[in-house]
Chains A and B, each alone.
Chain A
Amino acid sequence: MFITRSTASVAVLLAALVAGTSACETERIVRVTETDTVTIRRTDTLRVVVRDTVRFNEFRIFNQVERLGAPLFAEVLLEKREHDFHDVGTPNTDSVNFKDQVVKFITRTAGRTPAYADAVANALVPDMIVANLNRPASTAGYAGQILSANNYGGRRLQDDAVDISLMVVFGNILAAAGVPDANANVSPGLVTDNVPSDSPFLNVFPYLAPANAAASFAGRR
C-alpha cells in the first residue's frame, strides 16, 4: 500500500488486514504514513479506516458558496431571496445580474431619482473593494474610490461602512463627486445608525482587536 500524504496534514491511516483463510481470524492494525509500503497476501481482505485528520483537499473540486466584496452591497441593496444567487456569482457578471436591482432599491425604497440611482449603481458594480495602491495612505477609506479617483480607497477597519453606505443610498455624500441629483430626495433620518466602533484596533499587524473576553462581553450586554 503506497500513500502520498496530503500537504502538511497529519495523515494517519489505520488499515486493518483480515486474514480471510485463517480459521482464527486475526486483525493487523497498520498505521500508514507518507512513504510506507505494506505487503499483504492475495487472500487478505483489506479494510481501510480513514481517520478524520486526513485531508484530501488537493484532489477536490471546490464549489463557491459564499462571496463578499463591498460590505453592504447584497445586505442592503439586494432582496434576501437574491442573496444566494449573489453568493455563487462572480463580479464580472454583477452588472448584468444585479444593476437593475440596485437601481430599483435606490429609486423605489430610498425614493431617489433615476439619474442618481443609475450613477450609484454604476459605481457599485462590479461588487469589489477597490483601491488605488499608488495613492497616499492618508487617503485610504471606504468608498474613497467612488468619491474621487485621487483617493487610495479600499476599506479600513475603523471605517463606518454602515454610515458611509447609508449616506450613499439615502444622503448626499456623492454631491461632492458631481453625481446628478445627489441633493434630491435625501432621508436625513437614515444616514447614520448612531453606532460608533467599540473595537480597540491595533496599528501593528494583525491590526484587528484581540478576541473579547467573557467579562467585557457581559459588561456590554
Chain B
Amino acid sequence: MSEARITRGRLAALAGAVVVTAGAVALSTSLRASDHQQTVLTELNPRMDITDMFMFPAMAGTDSVVARDRVVLVMVTSSPLTPAQTGAARFDPNLLYQFKIDNGGPGGTANLDGVEDLVIQVTFDSTTNNQRVVNVRGPVAPPALMAADGSPLPRNGTATVLVRNAPQASIVGQPTGTNVTVPGAGGDIRIFAGATDDPFFVDLEQFFRIIPDRKPESGPLAALPETPTATAFRGPAPPFDVTRGAARNFLAGINALSIVIELPELLIAPGANKTVGMWGTISR
C-alpha cells in the first residue's frame, strides 16, 4: 500500500490541461464606446473588455453610511449586453480584474509617475448561481514576482500573481450590493459586482463616420464607410440631417457587468499626498 500525494504544483499542471468554457455569449449587436470593443481580442471576448473606469467621492444620499472621506472606484466590463443576454452573463472566473492606484508611493508627491503603488485584485469563483463568489484582495502593494532566474521583475510589470495574506473580502452567492468589513484595514469596504446599466452614452454611428479607423470588426457599424463621410456630429432634434436622423445614444438600454468598490480614502492614499491616479486592467 502506498499513498499518492498530489502537490500543489502538480495539481496546477493538471488544471492547465482542463478546458474551461467561459460562458461566452454571442452578441447580436456590435458597439463600441469609450473603450467598448477597443481591439479585436476584446471584441471577440467581451469578458476581457473594460469599457469604463470611474473614480468619485462617495455620496451620503439616504444611506446610513457616512460618505465623508470615502471614495468610489468603478470598473464596467462586458458591454454591450442586451437585456435578454444579461441574465446569463457572468464574470469570467479565469480572469483577474484589477484596480491600480498610483499615489506617489511612500512619502510620495503629487507628481505621479504612473507606477502602481497599490492594487485591488478581484476574482470570481464559479458561474453557477448558488456557488458564485466575488473575491476582493487589497488595496495592498502589488505582489513581487520572480523571473525564472530568481531576479525580481519590475514592480509595474504586466505579469502578476494573486497577492497572498492580503486583506480579503468575499461575497458568497448571488452577487449583490453588500457591506463587507475588511479586518484591520481602517474601515468598511463595500463591494458590488453584477449586472448594471451601461453608464456610457455616445452617438457611435456618427463618431465612426467622422473617424472610421476606430470602427469595430463586426456588426452593423462595421459596414460604415472606410473613409470619413461626416465632419460634424448630428443635431439632437429636428431639423436634422434628413438622411441620417437625429443624434442617437447607441448605449441606451444596454447593460454591462460592473464592479463597484467604495472604501476609505486612507486605504488608497495613506500618505500626505492625496492626489492619486487610477486605472483598470484585466489579465488572463
Contact = CB atoms under 8 A, between A and B. Distances in A.
Interface of A: 1-4, 6-10, 37-42, 46, 48, 50, 52-69, 71-72, 74-76, 79-80, 83-84, 87-95, 109, 125-134, 137, 140, 145, 152, 154-157, 160-162, 187, 189-190, 192-214, 216-217, 219-221
Given A55-B94, A61-B161, 11 more contacts: A2-B6, A8-B170, A53-B126, A55-B93, A79-B213, A84-B41, A92-B114, A129-B277, A133-B275, A189-B231, A209-B197
Contacts of A65: 41-42, 48, 282-284
Given A42-B1, A206-B177, A128 B112 contact: yes
Interface string B264-275: 010011000011
A168 to B, nearest CB: 14
A116 B252 CA distance: 34
- Most chain B Cβ neighbours within 10 Å, of A55, A61, A200: A55
B3 A39 contact: yes
Contacts of A187: 232
A90 B83 contact: no
Interface in B202-224: 202-203, 206-207, 210-211, 213-215
Contact of A67 (B59, B247, B262, B281): B281
B56 A210 contact: no
Contacts of B21: 52
A126 B234 contact: no
A83 B37 CA distance: 10
Contacts, number: 360
A189 B20 contact: no
Nearest to B96: A62
Nearest to A84: B39
B149 interface: no
A152 B57 contact: yes
B50 interface: yes
B86 interface: yes
A134 B195 CA distance: 32
A205 B14 CA distance: 41
B24 interface: no
Contact of B34 (A75, A193, A220): A75
Contact of A157 (B2, B115, B159, B199): B199
Contacts of A1: 3-6
A220 B254 CA distance: 10
B170 to A, nearest CB: 5
A59 B279 contact: no
- Most chain B Cβ neighbours within 10 Å, of A4, A80, A190: A80
Contacts of B253: 198, 212, 216-217, 219-221
B50 A67 contact: yes
Contacts of A79: 213
A145 B8 CA distance: 47
A161 B36 CA distance: 14
- Most chain A Cβ neighbours within 10 Å, of B158, B160, B248: B158
Contact of B275 (A62, A126, A132, A140): A132
A75 B177 CA distance: 31
Given A59-B9, A68-B52, A129-B54, A195 B249 contact: yes
B8 A4 contact: yes
A147 to B, nearest CB: 14
B145 to A, nearest CB: 7
B26 interface: no
Contacts of B159: 61-64
B276 A131 contact: yes
A184 B172 CA distance: 56
B181 interface: no
Interface in B42-93: 42, 48-59, 61-63, 65, 67, 71-72, 74, 76, 82-84, 86, 93
